Amino acid sequence: MTQIDFFYREFGTDRFIHENAAIGKEIVRVVPKSKYVAADMFFSSREKRWKNLSEFQGSGEKNDSAIFFEYAERPACIPALDMRQRDKDAKYIEDYTAAEMELYLEYRAEEARSRFAESNALDGNKIPKNIFAYEISTDTDSLAVGIKAREFVPVEKPVERQTCDETEETPEIRYDIRNGKIFETIEKFDIPEEIASFALGKLLEVASLFTGKNITAQKGSSSEETLLMMDYITNIPLEPNLFPVVNDEYAARLKFKIDRTNSRIFGDFCRKAGIKNHRMLRKSYIERPAALLTYMRVKSCGFRDVNIFNRVLSERNLYTQFDENCRRTDDQNLVFFCKKCIKARGETCTLNLLSKTTTGISGAHTDFAFADGIAMFRAYFKKIPQFLRAEIYREGFTPTIHDALSEISYKCENENKKFTYTKEQRSLEDDIDGFSFRLPTDSYKLCDIGMKMHNCVASYTDRVLYGKCTIVYAEKKGEYRICIEICGTEAKQELAPRNGEPGDEEKNALKKWHERHGIKE
């Protein structure tokens, strides 16, 4: 048995009206008045031509089964203007002959008409107006649901001069629950959300007939998401939400085989993935199917306590942390850190560190400091001293710890290069008002300055080696306060930490230093 639900566009609006009784009614195509049509026109099926709509009432074509549809002219393909020009510089109307002018004006008229048709071709929902109706067919015998777009024949000529037949194109998508297949007669077409939601409901009814169980699914926030859910239901009627999980790159390594009729498929997947099928997990899965992937990622990081899993699944900041850092199967930074931290401090303390990273509470770290820090932790783990490891397990990847790891990273990747200075350069070292102006002895010192002052001075190693500039730093009470770049006798840069402006105290010391050593600002 096949049921047809017919949705047709209400004339002059973007809305679609559901009316099964509309099937078989006469389709009256109407072109609204515009700058190209003097009055509303309708297509006379008797005379095969466009006529003034005011004639419809007494034309003998009027009947109770007629439904009016707006018929939008399709944009025409505008041919390139092909005309002879007197010479290459003939760009003005005065240069055209009468015959050429006639061709030019015809071209301009066709171009303007095509632009008008293009701007008028879509409704407010970006659906082509020539899709005047949708049919939803529900076949309970074949266990299939189809969506057809009833579409007018394309228009190639101006509508007031066109003759056309009754043929209509009917692009279709058909969801075959019995065989788990989706058929498309032509490429995908636009479907409004209200139509997609209605079709989803019909597909759930068919899926329930196929399985003997009540199948439910949440519609998407857009027609694209709703249609995607229909794809899932067609492929796994008993557990449609499991389909995107099984096909996720992270779960693909399980090589889980899909049985569309298996009523225990959810439990079978959990066993295959080593997941404990408990109440909290099922609740999270209903709300967010990707919770199964989150569980797998948490487990891969070395966690085993069920209370840890429950907390991760219920706190968005935590499951986002695991999902983003373990999304790729080859990204093992979070896995490496968690296993080391769990061994040193236990599961609860490790999870608290991760929570502290994402909640923005006092002492929290920026996303960059965490992502960069955890990558360096894994890459240079053997070079990290025990005291710094213990601090990381206790505090996490704070900005200070990030700087310490950056210094280790720099030293692992770069050979230390000693700097040699001329007598003139060495004369720049001085002590003024408690500030010690000094030259860095080597590239590792330059790296230390950059890490502590949060600037890029470590990248100046080659410039210092080849004499292109001189770097001078000023510290007070063991703290870097100023970083200076000198070229010749000119100070090109004089910056405080984080490339900020020096304060009054630093400016006074700098002024005296300039005067003593003949440095220009």
Mean pLDDT of the chain: 84
Instruction: Compute the half-sphere exposure of residue 268: CA atoms within 13 Å on the CB side of its CA.
Output: 15
Q: Tell me how far apart the alpha carbons of residues 475 and 343 are, in angstroms, rounded to a whole number.
A: 40
pLDDT of the residue at 93: 64
- pLDDT-derived band at 85 (thresholds 50, 70, 90) equals very low
Instruction: Give me the residues paired with residue 69 across strands.
Output: 29
Three-state DSSP class for residue 260: coil
Which helix (H) or strand (E) segment holds residue 131: the answer is strand 131-139
Three-state DSSP class for residue 125: coil
pLDDT of the residue at 45: 73
Average pLDDT estimate for 297-306 = 94
Angle at 340 between CA 339 and CA 344, to 5 degrees: 115
Q: Tell me how far apart the alpha carbons of residues 318 and 419 are, in angstroms, rounded to a whole number.
A: 47
Burial class from Cβ neighbours inside 10 Å (0-12, 13-18, 19+) for residue 461 reads: buried
Distance from the Cα of residue 450 to its chain's centroid: 35
Q: Rounded to two decimals, what is the model's pTM? A: 0.64
Which has more pLDDT, 416 or 125?
416
Which has more pLDDT, 64 or 219?
219
CB 323 within 8 A of CB 294: yes
| Range of weakest confidence among 64-73, 247-256, 340-349 | 64-73
Size (the chain), residues: 521
Average pLDDT estimate for 219-226 = 84
pLDDT tens-digit map of 498-513: 889 999 999 999 999 9
Average pLDDT estimate for 280-296 = 91
Mark 188-208 as b/e (b = at least 16 C-beta within 10 Å): ebebbbbbbebbbebbbebbe
Q: Inter-axis angle of helices 386-395 and 399-413, to 10 degrees? A: 140
Which helix (H) or strand (E) segment holds residue 373: the answer is helix 367-379
Structure token digits, residue 445: 């010192």
Q: Which residue has the tokens 């990707």?
A: 290
Average pLDDT estimate for 281-305 = 92
- pLDDT-derived band at 482 (thresholds 50, 70, 90) equals very high
Which has more pLDDT, 203 or 68?
203
